[in-house]
Amino acid sequence: MNIDVKLAPQSPEVWGYKDKTVVVIDVLRASSTIITALENGARAVVPVLTPDEAVTLKSRYDSENVLLGGERGGLKVQGFDLGNSPLEYKKEVVEGKTIVFTTTNGTNAIRQSGSADNLLIGAYLNLEAVVKKALELDKDILLFCAGRQNGFALEDAACAGAFCAAVLRMAQVKESDSAKAARMIAASFDSTFASFMASEHGQLLERLGFSDDLKLAATFNSCKAVPISINGQLVLSNTKKPR
């Protein structure tokens, strides 16, 4: 088995998604929010590219059980039910609901990876559960950092490095140079929180008043939920079909 990291978003035509398990990482905050929503009982999270697409899609569903979630510029989209803070996605808010979700970078990376054999969503919150699932799926693993403005994001690279280190602890895998580089980045920080505070996006979120999101997203393994994409919807990985 091989493990590789895309340190910045790149078209799947370039990297190829066949026979791979792709793990999309947007630790601040789309991945952390999607994981929290499913952990707290959301039926599905449907990633879309734009707020307009979200509104159109909602009108096609039984809208009573659908919430619109996501951000632009880090803040809740006007007219949406929820923003992109994992703390908003509480059990009493999301249980039984479908969340139509759009964020600046995260949902874009998810949609780009849509044709991967297996597409999982990872963050520190569910790191161990995702690593176990990816090893069980027994295909080459590609960690896809959502990044920022189509470029590199330090916090995603460090999180990918933590995933690589965990995979190497649990299995015999061949790592690419970018996987090694991601591990080195992760190892250069005393804590996950320190990697957030060193990153441009972490600093922006702090300025916007989302310090509690940073603390939450820095927590290891508090969730068992492994979001997997089935027919364009993210559901818990033990769910065969979107309910």
Size of the site for ligand MLT (CB under 6 A): 12
Site for ligand MLT in 56-115 (CB under 6 A): 71, 74, 84, 103-106
Check if the beta carbon of residue 38 is closer than 8 Å to that of residue 97.
no
Site for ligand MLT in 142-181 (CB under 6 A): none
176/211 with CB nearer ligand MLT: 211
3/94 with CB nearer ligand MLT: 94
CA 49/CA 109 separation, integer angstroms: 10
3/9 with CB nearer ligand MLT: 9
Site for ligand MLT in 201-220 (CB under 6 A): 205
CA 172/CA 43 separation, integer angstroms: 35
Please state the closest distance from residue 171 (CB atom) to ligand MLT, in A.
29
CA 133/CA 120 separation, integer angstroms: 9
CA 214/CA 97 separation, integer angstroms: 25
Should residue 199 be labelled a site residue for ligand MLT when binding is judged by CB under 6 A?
Answer: no
70/175 with CB nearer ligand MLT: 70
What is the chain's percent helix, strand, coil content, to nearest 5? 45, 20, 35
Q: How many residues does the chain have?
A: 243
Check if the beta carbon of residue 98 is closer than 8 Å to that of residue 44.
yes
Please state the closest distance from residue 84 (CB atom) to ligand MLT, in A.
4
Please state the closest distance from residue 112 (CB atom) to ligand MLT, in A.
12
3/101 with CB nearer ligand MLT: 101
CA 229/CA 112 separation, integer angstroms: 12
Q: Which residue has the tokens 């690419």?
A: 176
Please state the closest distance from residue 121 (CB atom) to ligand MLT, in A.
12
Please state the closest distance from residue 131 (CB atom) to ligand MLT, in A.
22
CA 226/CA 131 separation, integer angstroms: 10
Please state the closest distance from residue 104 (CB atom) to ligand MLT, in A.
3
Site for ligand MLT in 15-54 (CB under 6 A): 26, 28-30
The continuous run of DSSP H or E covering 194 comes out as helix 192-198
26/81 with CB nearer ligand MLT: 26
Q: Which of 9, 19, 227, 42 is nearest to 141 (CA)?
A: 19
Q: Which residues here bind ligand MLT, judged by CB under 6 A?
A: 26, 28-30, 71, 74, 84, 103-106, 205
